[in-house]
Structure 1
Amino acid sequence: MLRHADGLLADERASSVQLRYLLARMCESLRDVHRVAESRGARLDGTGRD
């Protein structure tokens, strides 16, 4: 996905629709990464809290 993002951002002809789609997918990915990081952190500290 990052390679695709680099290419799309470098393309001056990229449409706003393409950029919005890319941003939506990247937000989804970042949410997943954040969820996994919180889950692993909760397991490491043993409390399950922030």
Structure 2
Amino acid sequence: MTKEELKRCELRSHMFKALAHPVRICILEKLKEKPWCVCELAEVIGINKSIAS
């Protein structure tokens, strides 16, 4: 692998780490549907507003 390919893989691994929590994935799934405010997301997913923000 080239240095560029390794760097790209490293960046992707950081992205996947950021998405590793199920709540984050749920938030992304909901955001695909429409724009939501934090209050709505928190209520729909069943989490605190502070976690959703």
Name the TM-score, length of structure 1 as normaliser.
Answer: 0.40
Max Rg structure: 1
